[in-house]
Every structure is written in C-alpha cells, then in structure tokens.
Copies of this chain bind each other. A is one copy, B any other.
Amino acid sequence: MSQPLFHRVALIGIGLIGSSLARVLRRDSPATEIVACARRAETLAAVERLALADVTTHDPAEAAEGADLVVIATPLSAYAEIGRHIAPALKQGAILTDVGSVKEVVVRDLGPHVPEGVHFVPGHPVAGTEHSGPEAGFAELFRDRWCILIPLPETAPEAVANIGRMWEMAGMRVVTMTAAHHDRVLAMTSHLPHLIAYTIVGTATNLEESLKSEVIAFSASGFRDFTRIAASDPVMWRDIFLNNREAVLDVLQRFSEDLTALQRAIRWGEGDTLQELFTRTRAIRRSIIEAKQA
C-alpha cells in the first residue's frame, strides 16, 4: 500500500465541512489516523456513532499533538483562542490549515500564533449546504467545487502542494490567490447573497400574521430558494459578516444603489430599463451552466 498523504490528521471542529473531510479521508486514505476535536459532547458522540475518527477530544492541544496536518474547521470567532492553545503542541514540519470563509482575518488572527517550523496554509473549500453538524456531512460535498488556498510569502511550496493534493483527492479543483482578493470575490459570490437571503426571509417574518402563512404556502414562486440559503448556520454566518466587514459593505453598497435604480424604474414605469437588465442577467446564468457550476 502507498504511503498516506498524512499519517495523523487533527480536525478541530467537526461540523458539515470537518465531517465531510473525515469521510473523504476514511474512504480514500484509510491508513490516516483521524483525531476529532469539538467543544460539545453531543458533537463528539455523533462522531463516535458515525465512526468518523479514531480519537475524540475536547482539547484542541491534545488533538494537535503529533498531527502532521491540523485543520481548523470551527466558526471564525474561535480561531484566535484555538491558535493560542495549539501553538505549543504543534510538531515541527506540521501543516496548519483551515476551511474558513474569510481569509485576511485568519492570516491576522492565527498567523502570529504559528511557531517557527510549522507550515501555515489558510484554505477555503468553497462547498456547503444549509445543514450543519457531523450528521450533515458527506464525502461527495466537495466534488467538482473549487478550493482556494492562500500561500503566504513564507509558506513552503511543498506544504501548499500537499494540502492541494488532499483537496484534489476530495474531488476539488485547487486554485491559489491572496487573502484580500479571496475576501472580495467571496463577498460578492457568497456573503452578499447570504445577507440578502437572510434579509428577505426576515422581511417576510415581519409581515402581519394573516399574510405570513400564505408566504409559506406560496413560497415555491421564488421565495423558497432564499429560505434554503437563509437556513445556514447562524454563528458561522455572524462571524463571516463581522470578519469580512469592509468587502461586504462595499458590495452591499453597490447592490443598494442598483436596487434603488430598479425601484425608481418601477415607480416611473420604465419598462425598457427593466427588460434590458433582465435580458442581461440571463447571460450570466448561461455562463454558469457552461462553467459547470450549476
């Protein structure tokens, strides 16, 4: 049997993404020892029931000890403390990565804790569903999706390549970019859409009671798609908005201006403006279908 890519992998945080990665490792790299770390007892109980790890622990430092790969997969607000805890336990030559949806803040909060001789490669497998927790994971979650890696000036290329190989094993296409660029792209493709979905579902819940039940009955006419997105994990998303503030506020401002322009077109009956935009947006959908992301 060939050497496994990593002998011992510590998954710190084992929700949708962490548990899906555990399933990939179980399937494609059975010789890899998996250590799962979570704060809540129910989470670790589920991990044990699903046999997703060889060892479970509540202590991030214990999990990181002796691991040649440490993956942080918790909400962003936990990163700094985890970094402080695991730093002394990280072994020389180990790779430290994460799966968070914002990257500049990871470089800022986690970077300073990384000891000399440990390779730090922030990452973002761009995949997910509206479900959370270890039961919600599945190995095929990553298939044909993109994984963005953020090599830092001091990162060894070999470490980036190793992490890349793991995500390719999961079926992902791997690309590298700077943290700042990542945060701008994701603000548009992911953070703004989620913010808007949360808002519109909130607007609907504030309607008078007589309308609210009908909003649910007639949701299939468009609203339903937003509710799926707006069912995503609340803590994870709170952290994303707090930690990608500038980029989110920038695209949000652009969106608000565009929405106001449409509002004005509706008020003044400017049908050509509406039709022109609606025709243009169809083309974007076609590009996405051609890029096989639909």
Query: Which 9 pairs across A and B sit closest by C-beta, in order of nearness?
Result: A190-B221, A234-B278, A193-B222, A231-B285, A230-B281, A201-B281, A189-B223, A227-B285, A238-B275
Q: Which of A267, A281, A285 has the most C-beta atoms of chain B within 10 angstroms of its own C-beta? A: A281
Q: Quick check: A242 and B294 within 8 Å, CB to CB?
A: no
| Shortest CB distance A104–B (Å) | 16
* Interface membership of A126, Cβ < 8 A: yes
A199: chain B residues within 8 A (beta carbon): 255, 258-259, 262
| CB pair A200 B195 closer than 8 Å | no
State whether A196 and B234 are in contact (beta carbons under 8 Å apart), knowing that A227-B285, A274-B242, A288-B224 are contacts in the complex.
no
Extra inter-chain contacts (12) besides given A185-B214, A198-B281, A252-B263, CB under 8 Å: A126-B220, A128-B221, A145-B220, A185-B211, A201-B281, A203-B255, A219-B291, A220-B293, A228-B285, A231-B281, A234-B282, A252-B259
A51 contacts chain B at the CB level, 8 A cutoff: no
B245 touches A189 (CB 8 A): no
Known: A238-B274, A258-B206. A227 touches B281 (CB 8 A): yes
Q: Is the CB of B266 within 8 A of A216?
A: no
Interface residues contributed by chain A, number (CB under 8 Å): 91
Copies in the complex: 2
Give chain A's interface secondary structure class. Answer: helix
User: Is A153 close to B, CB under 8 A?
Assistant: no
CA distance in complex: A231, B207 (Å)? 28
**A294: B residues at CB distance < 8 A:** 224, 227-228
Q: Is A114 an interface residue (CB 8 A)?
A: no
**A284 surroundings in chain B (CB, below 8 A):** 201, 204-205, 216, 227, 230
